[in-house]
């Protein structure tokens, strides 16, 4: 089946995929919008690879903000750029320059300190939100984040970048 033209929507209603290329990608975060995720979290999408399920975000969390208790179906690597954060379930603090690897299956609750944080998260799979009894209460993956990005662009009247690499 031929690749969808980028101007056409795919079967999920998202921007069609560009043909596969091995050409390098140069991405300037200034060309990407901040997208509100919660009242304390916003993000810029950096990579939304619908072929592999990998997705990366530049995530900003204001002081005292948190990402609800969640489970990863695959690993995540976080690179801390500014501020600091920790998991409620652990006793370490992630600071600028540090790298945090989150293994598949880990359940944790990310909290920021008062200065908040700017961190790049590279996801290999889905993020499942869990309640305290380990019941699934929500999820995100490359498709939900792509949809948030495309919907934001549609509201603002801007063309979404091709982040499927
Ligand atoms: Fe996590």
Pick from 162, 128, 126: nearest CA to 10: 162
CA pair distance 130, 33, nearest whole angstrom: 28
Pick from 143, 77, 85: nearest CA to 104: 77
| pLDDT tens readout for residues 49-87 | 999 999 999 999 999 989 999 999 999 999 999 999 999
80 alpha carbon – ligand 1 mean position (Å): 13
141 alpha carbon – ligand 1 mean position (Å): 12
| pLDDT tens readout for residues 111-156 | 999 999 999 999 999 999 999 999 999 999 999 999 999 999 999 9
135 alpha carbon – ligand 1 mean position (Å): 16
Q: Output the pTM of the full model.
A: 0.91
143 alpha carbon – ligand 1 mean position (Å): 17
CA pair distance 129, 81, nearest whole angstrom: 25
60 alpha carbon – ligand 1 mean position (Å): 14
By three-state DSSP, how is residue 9 classified?
Answer: strand
- Cβ-Cβ contacts under 8 Å for 64 (sequence gap 6 or more): 40, 111, 112, 113, 114, 116
Task: Assess whether pLDDT exceeds 80 at residue 1.
Answer: no
103 alpha carbon – ligand 1 mean position (Å): 9
Vertex 137, ends 133 and 143: CA angle to 5°?
140
108 alpha carbon – ligand 1 mean position (Å): 6
CA pair distance 141, 147, nearest whole angstrom: 10
Domains of the chain: 40-156 (2.60.120.10)
pLDDT band for position 5 (50/70/90)? Answer: low
Question: How many Cα neighbours within 13 Å face the side chain of 61?
Answer: 23
CA pair distance 88, 103, nearest whole angstrom: 16
By three-state DSSP, how is residue 136 classified?
Answer: strand
């Amino acid at each position: 089946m031929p690749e969808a033209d980028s101007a056409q929507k795919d079967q999920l209603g998202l921007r069609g995929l560009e043909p596969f290329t091995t050409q390098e990608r140069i991405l300037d975060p200034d060309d990407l919008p901040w997208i509100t995720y919660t009242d304390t979290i916003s993000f810029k999408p950096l990579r939304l690879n619908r072929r592999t399920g990998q997705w990366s975000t530049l995530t900003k969390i204001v002081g005292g903000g948190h990402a609800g208790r969640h489970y990863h179906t695959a690993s995540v690597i976080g690179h801390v750029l500014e501020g600091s954060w920790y998991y409620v379930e652990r006793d370490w603090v992630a600071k600028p320059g540090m790298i945090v690897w989150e293994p598949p299956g880990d359940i944790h609750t990310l909290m920021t300190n008062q200065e908040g944080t700017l961190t790049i998260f590279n996801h290999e799979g889905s993020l499942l939100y869990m309640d305290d009894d380990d019941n699934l209460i929500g999820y995100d993956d490359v498709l939900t984040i792509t949809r948030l990005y495309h919907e934001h662009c549609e509201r603002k009247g801007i063309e979404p970048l091709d982040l499927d690499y």
